Amino acid sequence: MFLPVSLVTRLRDRCNDELTSKHGSDHPVLTNGDVISSTLAKLAYLNRNKKTKTFVLGETVNARGRHPALPEGKHYLHNCPAYACARFKFNKNTPLSEIALKHRISVNETAQTASIERSFAVTKKVFDGGYGFPMGEAGDLSFHVTNWSSAWHGIDFSHVRKDTSATNATGESNGAPDSVSNAALPMLVLGSSTQRDSSIHRLSAPILCKADGGYWVAFTTSTKNMLLVDELLKKDPLLDTL
């Protein structure tokens, strides 16, 4: 799924305005990440009826640079995640702005030193016990987002670009470079290796990167719900009805 920056910014500004009108100017200011995570969570449950249930919205938070023992300046991936969790009452009419606010509050709380240490301790116990990581209580609705957008900043991917000069093992040229390859735009494909029939991935979405004027997201949901997502995007491409 591709979410243009212009769309995300528009939704963010709208949500911030709604929160200011309802809660005053002291509410935490929403970011693009808050809006994207909340939008994905709502899209994942479009087929829900109006019945209210407890919802758990999780977010992976990079603890590097937020804890004294984890200084910034070195680029590491997947070695110090903490987990934010917002738990609240939800139905299909819950405003996007309220979900985004709860998400922002949970991320702010998780970024505190004590919360990071608590999250690490829980993760270690889960690993040592060989358990699956829980997502709320039994019967809760859940969705988890991992945002990789900032993780790619400053990383040089030029070493993985294909050499179109087509040299052989001795270093000699094999002839003219392929014209089709030359005509194509440089591209790096990001994704995750998962089995097609693994239903757990309906409950999570990685925001893979920010490029080409928007955010690329690996979004999965049921066949029935995806039809509703497609219908919504056709009728309401600006997502004003969320």
Residue written as token pair 């049921």: 222
Q: What is the DSSP letter of 26?
A: T
In percent, the amount of the chain with pLDDT more than 70 equals 78
- Residue 204 corresponds to which tokens in the numbers above? 């999570």
| Rounded CA separation 46/58 (Å) | 18
| Rounded CA separation 98/19 (Å) | 8
Instruction: Tell me the pTM.
Output: 0.81
2-154+187-235, CATH topology level:
Chloramphenicol Acetyltransferase (3.30.559)
Q: Supply the mean pLDDT for the chain.
A: 84
Is residue 174 over pLDDT 50? no
Q: What is the pLDDT of residues 128-145, one digit of tens each?
A: 988 776 667 888 899 999
Q: What is the pLDDT of residues 17-57, one digit of tens each?
A: 999 999 999 999 999 999 999 999 999 999 887 789 999 99
Where in the chain are the domains? 2-154+187-235
Is residue 157 over pLDDT 90? no
Q: What is the DSSP letter of 70?
A: B
- Of 72, 63, 55, 151, nearest to 115 by C-alpha is 63
DSSP H or E segment with residue 205: strand 204-211
DSSP H or E segment with residue 117: helix 113-129
Q: What is the pLDDT of residues 69-95, one digit of tens each?
A: 888 776 665 568 899 999 999 998 999
